[in-house]
A and B are shown apart, each in its own frame.
Chain A
Amino acid sequence: MAPREVLDPSGQDAYRSGSLSAPFVSGLSITGASICVTMGNRVQSTISASDPLAAQIDELQYVLGEGPHWDALRSGKPVLTPDIRANVNTGWPMLFAALIELDLGALFSFPLRMGAVTVGVADLYRTTPGDLNEREHATAISLARATAPRALHVATALARDDEPVKPGLVAELRREVHQATGMILVQLNVDATEAFLRLKAYSFSSGISIQDIAKDVVQRRLNFRDLPE
């Protein structure tokens, strides 16, 4: 089973610098939310959960290895289940059986995206069934995009045992990081999400910042084809 870090298993949002799930909960007609970041090597880091039920839903999908969370991560597109009970024929039989026990109405998973890169997922739930209307759908996508760099920062800081800085102070990734992602995806013949994960992984293992590695890639001092697997 792939390793996983959960910020606080009790489900209370222990993210020290503020809650990343809160804007989703307050901005949309949902009951709760959890935020997860992909760390590479099949490691996922759940960095925020608005309540114990959100944490439980997150845990279930992780343990069972199926669910809208995974589909959203893989496809890079939102996966919407406005009425869990109505969805009898899904690719997630075990999960739905479990969710019905929990008396859940609706589940919405929105990938956290930076351009074409999926860095994680926001899993939203509501105890009652029903769609997100068009306005809310647009809001959720916008929130997911705005949250992506911050979620990334928090997950990275936690992995390094650093104190994450206040969300307002998270610097946007410089252009070179995105350009390098594009170059790496060609060099390794992988997709954008995978390319970014490789960039992150190299940063973690080498101790060099993502920004500095990106600069080397863009200035052609470093080619990811030359790195060991």
Chain B
Amino acid sequence: MSTVTRETRLNAAFVKLADTLTDDYDIVDLLHTLVEECTAIFDIQAGGLMLADSGGRLQLVASTSERADLVEIMQLNAGKGPCVDCFETGLPVAIADIAKSGERWADFRDEALKQGFRSIYATPLKLRGQTIGTLNLLSATVGELNARDALAAQALSDVATIGILQERLIKERGIVADQLQRALDSRVLIEQAKGVLSESASINVDEAFSAMRAYARGHNLRLHDVAEGIVGRTVTIVLHTSD
């Protein structure tokens, strides 16, 4: 990507993220935007964002695809993978060649390689020194994320962290925990809604997410509220099949 195009794209990404920080923003939608922008700007093929739950375990909250195979890599990573190191140290972790990562994270390594990913970069989401999650970027080629991209990824995730935590309003640590729990619970609701939509519209669960998100945008609604409506059977999404 040329310098001009890249800078333009990066600026647009910041604006897009910042725009999402209106009164009506949706946490999960914001995080999805973040991982999508990263795949568009950087030389990576997939991304996933995890937040820590109240037990200190990483949970996948947003990813560039809802497909079960990518989710599986992310979840293996969350259990035992580079992102755990990133989370525990609060420092970025770069694995330039997953094939040479040894036995530390054997399951994650095998699944990632099987799906064609050769390198991963995990960057922490931090607020006032506290690490609340990680952003994980997967690439199909061996090599490290270059320094410029690493800085930009960190900056983008800082904007997202603000979105999660509304930093300017935070006075106590308790609020951090509450906001994280809300994001995690929102994800559960979205999964339930995916199931409802998948069954009632006879589509796959991964297609269901795109349908919900498109509906939310088209009707200027929060993703969370659409999910709630779908599960409560007050919202029906009509899907148009294209030939």
Contact = CB atoms under 8 A, between A and B. Distances in A.
Interface of A: 27, 113-117, 135, 138-139, 141-142, 145-146, 167-168, 170, 172, 174-175, 178-187, 191-192, 218
A186 B236 CA distance: 12
Interface residues of B, number: 34
Interface in B24-74: 53-57, 59, 71
B199 A183 contact: yes
Nearest to B181: A142
A186 B99 CA distance: 44
B199 A168 contact: no
B182 interface: yes
Contacts of A191: 232
18 contacts: A27-B174, A114-B185, A115-B192, A116-B192, A139-B174, A141-B178, A145-B182, A175-B71, A178-B191, A179-B192, A179-B198, A180-B195, A182-B192, A182-B196, A185-B231, A186-B195, A186-B200, A218-B205
A175 B174 CA distance: 27
B231 to A, nearest CB: 4
A22 to B, nearest CB: 14
Which 4 residue pairs of A and B lie closest in terms of their CB atoms, listed nearest first? Answer: A182-B195, A178-B191, A115-B188, A115-B189
Contact of B55 (A117, A141, A167, A178): A167
B181 A146 contact: yes
B193 interface: yes
Contact of A182 (B56, B71, B228, B231): B231
Among A113, A116, A138, residue most surrounded by chain B Cβ atoms (within 10 Å)? A116
Contacts of A138: 175, 178
B188 A114 contact: yes
B118 interface: no
A186 B191 contact: no
B178 A168 contact: no
B222 interface: no
Nearest to A192: B231
Contact of B231 (A116, A142, A180, A187): A116
B194 interface: yes
B195 to A, nearest CB: 2
B231 A172 contact: no
Contact of B178 (A139, A181, A183): A139
B193 A182 contact: yes
B197 interface: yes
Contacts of A146: 53-55, 181
A110 to B, nearest CB: 13
Contacts of A178: 188, 191-192, 194-195
Contacts of B174: 27, 135, 139
B177 interface: yes
Nearest to A185: B196
A191 B234 CA distance: 12
Contact of A183 (B56, B181, B196, B228): B196
Contact of A170 (B55, B71, B177, B182): B55
A179 B189 contact: no
Contacts of B193: 182
Contacts of A170: 55
A175 B55 contact: no
Contacts of A174: 75
Contacts of A168: 55-56
B53 to A, nearest CB: 7
Contacts of B59: 172
B181 A145 contact: yes
B54 A179 contact: no
Contacts of A183: 195-196, 198-199
Contacts of B54: 146
